[in-house]
Structure 1
C-alpha cells in the first residue's frame, strides 16, 4: 500500500512538473517558432522570414559577427583560464584563495557591468584614455568587435579556470613521471601527456563559454556600437517594430537557439565523464617555483585574476567619484548614492521583490523536480532532465520575446505586470536548484528514506522529514545561486519591463546608454555588494566553491 501511495504522490508531482515546463517553456518557445514561419500580414505559413535572414547582407553579417566574437571570446577565455588553472594547480604559491576569490568576482559580475566598467576606462571619455592623451598618447576607444571580444574573454575565463583546475589536479602524475624518465622535456610532456588528458574538460569549458558569448546581449549592445549580432538584432526588431514584424524577430531568435543547441550537442558528445576515473590515487604535487620562474608564476597568475576583477573594482571606485552628467569630476563623494537613495529606489525594491518571489518558487519546484530526476529515474524523468537543458541555451532576449508572444493576450494576459518577469526569471533559473538537488541526492543513500517508509512514514513525510534535512545545503546553495543570477538578469527583463517594473540591471543599462555613469556606478555597486553576499552564503552552504558555480 505504501509503495502504491509513493508512486501516486510522485506521479502527481511529475505531472505538475511537466505542466509547468510545458506552460512556461515549451509553449512560449513554440509560439516563437510558429511566429517565425507565419506571414505577418496574412498569417499564412511561410519560410519567407528565414529566406530574408539568409539572403540579406545585414543579417548574414549578424550571423558572422555572432560566430566570430563568440569564437574569439571563447579562445581568449580558454587561453586565460587554462593558463591560470595550470599555474595555480601545478605550482605552490601563496594567495591561491585570493586568486580564486577574484576569479569568482569576475564570474558573478553581470557581463553588462563589465562592459560598462571598460567604457569608463577606455570609452570616448574614459579616464585612462584621457590620462594617456594628457601625456601625448592617443589610443582608439574600446568600441567595436575587439572590445566585445576582450570583455567576453575577461568575463568568461573563470568558467574555464574552475573547470580545468579540477582536471589539472586530477591527472595521474605517474604518466608524467614516466614521460620524464624517458627524457621528454617539460613542454613536450605538457602537450603530449597532460593536455590530451584534460582535453575533455577544456572542450567542455570552451563550448560553455561559446554558448554564453553568443547569447550575451548587454556587452555587444553597450560596446559593439555598430557591431550587430543576432541577440541585438532580435531585440532591435522587437523593440522598434512591436506588432509590425514579429516574424523576423522570432526567426532570428530561432536561428540563435539552433546555434546554441548545436554547440550543446557537440559538447555532450565530446564530454567523457569517466576520463579522470581513478586518477586521484596519485595526484600531482605542486612545484615550489624559484628565481625567475617564481616571478613569472606569481606575475601571470595575479595579473590574470586582477585584470578579470577590474570591472568590479572600477565600478566601486567610480561610484564615489563626483560627476556632472557623463563626465567624472575631481574628488570623491556620495552624490551618486544620494541620487539613488532619494530618487531611484524603485529598481532596487523591484529587483529584491522579483528575485525573492521567483526564487521561493524555484526552490520548491526545483527541489521536487531534482528529486524526480535523481530518485524516480525513467524515460519520462530523463526527458524532464533533458528539457531542463533548454533554459541554459535560450538567450534571455529570446525568452522575453517568447513570453510577450505567449502572454500578451489569451487566457493569461500578464504582459506589463510583475508576474511576467517573475515567471520568466523562474523558468530561466529553475535548472540551478533542480540540478543542485539532483546532484546532492545522487550522493546520498536511499536507505534512510526507505527505513522511514518501512517504519510507517508516508512518502511525503519521509521526503520532508528525512530527505530534505539531508540535502538542505544543496537546496540552499542552488537557491542562492538562482537568487544571484535572478538579480543580475538583464536581457529578458529589458524586453518585459514597463515603467513600474523596472529592475536594477535594466536601470543600470539605461543609465549607461544615457551617459549617467555616476548613477550606473552606484547602482552597480549596490548590485555587486548584494551579489557578493549571496555568493559567499552559497559557498558556505555548499562547502565546495566549484559545485555551486558549475
Structure 2
C-alpha cells in the first residue's frame, strides 16, 4: 500500500513538474526575447552623449522634423480607419442581412485581400497610378491631369483598401449573432430603418466594430512598406525610426529608440482607449434569435451586388496587377505588351537565395509556433491561474508592437556578447516566432475550450501518464485548430517586411526585402514576379486553412 501511494505521489509530482518546467521555459523565452529587448530600447532612449536625460524626447516634441512624423501617422491611420469603417460596415451588413448569391466566394476573396501584404498593394498602385502608371498615362492622354498615388492620400487609399476586411470580418460576425428581437422591438416603437441602425444595431455591435477599427489602426500604424514606397519625403513614425537607426550619414540608435518607444506608447494608448470606450457601457445580449436573411427586390439586389463587387474588384486590383505584369516583358522600368517569362528567369538567377530564405525561415518559425501553441494554450486553458493569465498577456503583447520597433530592440539587445545573434538567420526566426505566435495561440485556445476534459481523464484513468495523454490524445484533437492558426501565421510570416528590413543582412535577405529593393531600383518585372510568388503562396495557404476550418468547424 505504501509503495502504491509513493508511486501515485511521484506521478502526481511528475505531472505538475512537467508543466511547471514548460511554464518556466516559456517565461524565460518571453523575458529574454521580448521584455529584455524592449527594456533595452527604453533605457537607450534616455541616454544622450553618455548621460541620462530627456534630450531626445525634448527634441521629438519641439522639432517639426520629428513630431510631424507622429501627426502624419495619426492623420493617415485615423482617416484610413474611418474610411475602412465606411466600406467594411456596409459590406458586412449587406452580406449578412440580405439574400445575395456567391456569398462564400466573396467572403474568401475578401479574406484574400487582407492576407496580401500592404506593401505589395502599394507597389501595384504605383504601377497603376504612379507617375508613369497605366491609368495615370491614360487619364493624361484624355486631358485629365490627376495626381499620382504618391503622398499622404496614396497611403490612406492603400491602407483603406487593404484593411477594411478587418471591419468586415468583425462586424459580420457580430451581426450574425445579434438577437433580432431587439431590432423588432425598435421597429414596433415606430423607428425607421435608419434610426434603428443608429440607435440599436450600431450600439450593440460597438465592441466588435471598435475592435476591427483598432486592428485597422494598428496594422496601418505599424506598416513600414507602404509609407516607404509612397512617402516621397513625407515621413511616418516607422520610417523615421528606421532611418534614424540605419542612416548612410551616421545612425542615431538613441533617437531611434526614442521613436520606437513613442511608436509603442501610441499603439498601447490606442489599445487602452478602445478598451475604455467598450467598458463604459454594458453590451451583453442574447443570441437566441439571430436575424433572418431578407430577400431583396430585383433592383435593390442589383445595387447591393454592384456595391459589393465594385469594392471587391478594387480590392483585388493589386493581386491581379502583380500577377499579370509578372508575365510581361520589360524594357528597363517600362512594361511592354509582349508576353514573357523573363522576369521569373531573372528571379531564379538573381535572388534564388531570398526565396529559399523566406520559406525556410518561416517553416522553422512555424514549427516552433505549433509546438508552443499546443503547450502554452494547454497551460493557459487547463492550468488556469494568475501565472498562466500573465503568460497569456505577455504572449499577446506583440499584437501592439510594430515590427520596426521589435527589429530595432533586437539589434540593440543582441549585437554583443553574451547573446550575439545580430545578422544571423536565428534572429529572424526568433523575431517571426515572437511576432506571429499570438495567431497560433488564439486558435489553439479556441479549439481547446471545445475539447471536453473527460477525454483526458478517461485516458489517465486507464493508466496513461498525463504528459503522454496530452501528446497522444489532447494534442491530436487540438491539431486542426492549431494548424488553422499556424497557416495564418505562416501567411503573415512570409509577407513580413517591417521587422525583416531592420534585421536582415545580404545573406539573410527574404522575398519581401527583395521586392522592396527591386522596386527602388525600378526593376518592376522582377518585383512583380517575386510578388506573384508571395501572392500565390498566400492563395494556396488560404485554400488549405479554409478546408481545415470547414471540415472541423473552426472559424477563420
Aligned residue for 2:26?
A: 17
| CA distances 1:229-283 after superposition (whole Å, capped 9, x unpaired) | 110000010110697421000000000001001111223344479946422x211
Give the 3 Å change call, closer, same or farther, for CA 52–421 of structure 1 in structure 2.
same
Does structure 1 conserve the Cα–Cα contact (< 8 Å) formed by 2:99 and 2:296? yes
Matched, 1:283 2:290: yes
Q: Quick one: distance in 2 between partners of 1:21 and 1:275?
A: 34
The counterpart of 1:449, out of the listed 448, 456, 467, is: 456
2:39 aligned residue: 30
**Kept after mapping to 1: 8 A contact 2:480/2:552:** no
2:180 corresponds to: 173
Task: Give the RMSD, CA atoms, in angstroms.
Answer: 1.8
Which secondary structure state, in structure 2, belongs to the residue aligned with residue 240 of structure 1? coil
Distance in 2 (alpha carbons) for counterparts of 1:342 and 1:400: 29
Q: By how many angstroms is 1:3 displaced? A: 3.0
* Alpha carbons of structure 1 residues 547 and 85: separation in structure 2 relative to 1, 3 Å: farther
Q: How does 1:446-485 map to 2 (within 5 A)?
A: 446-485=453-492
Deviation, structure 1 residue 537: 1.1
Aligned to 1:64: 71
Quote the offset at 1:545 in angstroms.
Answer: 11
Aligned 8 A contact 2:179 2:285 in 1: no
Matched, 1:111 2:118: yes
Q: 1:546: how far off?
A: 10
- 1:100 partnered with 2:102: no
Give the conservation status (yes or no) of the 8 Å contact 2:374–2:478. Answer: no
Aligned pair 1:4/2:23, yes or no? no
Q: CA deviation at 1:66?
A: 0.9
Match of 1:303 in 2: 310
Aligned residue number for residue 245 of structure 1: 252
- Alignment map for 1:285-364 (pairs within 5 Å): 285-364=292-371
Alignment of 1:46-445 (within 5 A): 46-240=53-247, 244-271=251-278, 275=283, 277-279=285-287, 281-445=288-452
Q: Structure 1: 5+ residue runs without aligned partners?
A: none
Q: Given that residues 127 and 134 in structure 2 are in contact (C-alpha distance below 8 angstroms), is that contact kept between their aligned partners in structure 1?
A: yes
Residue 481 of structure 1 contacts residue 548 of structure 1 at CA under 8 Å; is this kept in 2? no
Contact preservation (8 Å) 1:340, 1:522: yes
| Contact 1:204-1:270 within 8 A present in 2 as well | no
1:345-366 CA distances to partner (integer Å, 9 max, x unpaired)? 1111110111011111111122
Consecutive unaligned residues of structure 2, counting only runs of 5 or more, are 1-8
Residue 188 of structure 1: how far off its partner (Å): 1.4
* Separation in 1, partners of 2:440, 2:192: 45
Per the normalisation by structure 1, the TM-score is 0.96
Q: Summarize the Cα distance change of 1:122–1:93 in structure 2 as closer, same or farther, 3 Å threshold.
A: same
In 1, Cα distance between the equivalents of 2:365 and 2:180?
46
Q: How many residues align?
A: 546
Q: Is the CA contact 1:70–1:213 (under 8 Å) kept in the aligned structure 2?
A: yes
CA contact (8 A) 1:391 1:427 kept: yes
CA distance, structure 1, for counterparts of residue 116 and residue 392 of structure 2: 28
Would the aligned equivalents of 1:539 and 1:545 in 2 still touch at CA under 8 Å? no
Secondary structure (helix, strand or coil) at the match of 2:420 reads coil
